[in-house]
Amino acid sequence: MNRPLGIKLASLLLILVNAACTPAPNAAPTLPAPAAQNTPQYGGAIVASAVVVPAQFSQLSFVIAGTVREMAVAEGDLVQAGQTLAVLNAPDLEYAVAQAEEAERAAEFRYQYWIPARLDRPPERRQLAEQVFIQAQKALDTARAGLTQSTIRAPFDGTIVSIDAQPAEMVQSGQAVITLATLDHLRIETTDLSERDIPSIQIGQAATVSVEALGGQLTGKVTSISPMADKLGGDVVYKVTVELDSVPNELRWGMTAEVNFETQ
């Protein structure tokens, strides 16, 4: 029995739709695209911006407020640890030391009087004089410690980079007065090394440094990796320090650089 033409066309269309929806028996499953890998830049190296800094620097200030009596150094001076750099006018502290010295001398004189063992000098009097003498010594130490607050001394060998106060000028406690730095020991610190790249950096790793102002390249090694991250425009970065194998005389604090870390 012949079917109408319309029924034949509908049946053929249904067969084609079912065939398109049925998966091929040996078709391979579709896999997700692999995640992007953090590959080092520039063909096996990681590159970071950096800056030249001294190995050690400090902005020095007085513990107390007062008027500067003496500025014992000038910018550019080389100083040694313990050297006096600046002194405040502190008459009250100086008077306290003078009083404590006088009291200590008097207490020592009385103690020396009771030291010889004689019948008219009982031992309890000698013990009391000794205690007074010890207390006078402690008071003198305290007064002298107070007077040291009026003096800035160099905490390490270095160069006076800047002076921000002059004699007769009033300064506040904690106000930066002198900047001291080890300009004879400069090194490189990165400023934008990403958290994605820091796992590839190791202590002792070789690095090549390009200083824009000087041209050419310097070599060095990684000596420290900051354990704490910084923020740079919302990105997480880590500071890495590179000690140079040789420091050119033209290198200056604050020069910009680019560090190339060789990776495996």
Same domain, 66 and 175: yes
- In this predicted structure, the answer to whether residue 15 has a pLDDT above a threshold of 60 is no
Please tell me what DSSP assigns to residue 126.
H
Same domain, 60 and 126: no
Domain that holds residue 226: 45-55+185-262
Q: Would 11 be classed as within a structural domain?
A: no
Domain count, the chain: 3
Q: Would 16 be classed as within a structural domain?
A: no
pLDDT at 28: 40
- CATH number for the domain spanning 223: value is 2.40.30.170
Same domain, 129 and 228: no
pLDDT at 120: 72
- Dump strand ranges (E) for the chain: 45-54, 57-61, 66-71, 78-79, 84-89, 151-153, 158-163, 170-171, 176-181, 186-190, 193-194, 206-211, 217-225, 230-232, 235-238, 240-244, 256-262
Same domain, 230 and 161: no
188-225 pLDDT, tens digit each: 999 999 999 999 999 999 999 999 899 889 999 999 99
pLDDT at 201: 95
Q: Would 173 be classed as within a structural domain?
A: yes
Q: Would 31 be classed as within a structural domain?
A: no
Same domain, 192 and 235: yes
d(CA 217, CA 23): 61
C-alpha closest to that of 127 among 117, 141, 138: 117
Q: Would 255 be classed as within a structural domain?
A: yes
Q: How confident is the model at residue 55 (pLDDT cuts 50, 70, 90)?
A: very high
Report the predicted TM-score, pTM, of the whole model to 2 decimal places. Answer: 0.71
Same domain, 255 and 196: yes
- In this predicted structure, the answer to whether residue 34 has a pLDDT above a threshold of 80 is no
Same domain, 211 and 254: yes
pLDDT at 8: 45
- Say which residue, 29 or 216, is predicted with more confidence: 216
d(CA 99, CA 86): 24
Q: How confident is the model at residue 80 (pLDDT cuts 50, 70, 90)?
A: very high
- In this predicted structure, the answer to whether residue 231 has a pLDDT above a threshold of 60 is yes
pLDDT at 264: 67
Report the 10 Å Cβ neighbour count for 191: 16
pLDDT at 76: 95
94-147 pLDDT, tens digit each: 999 999 999 999 999 999 988 886 667 788 888 999 999 999 999 999 999 999
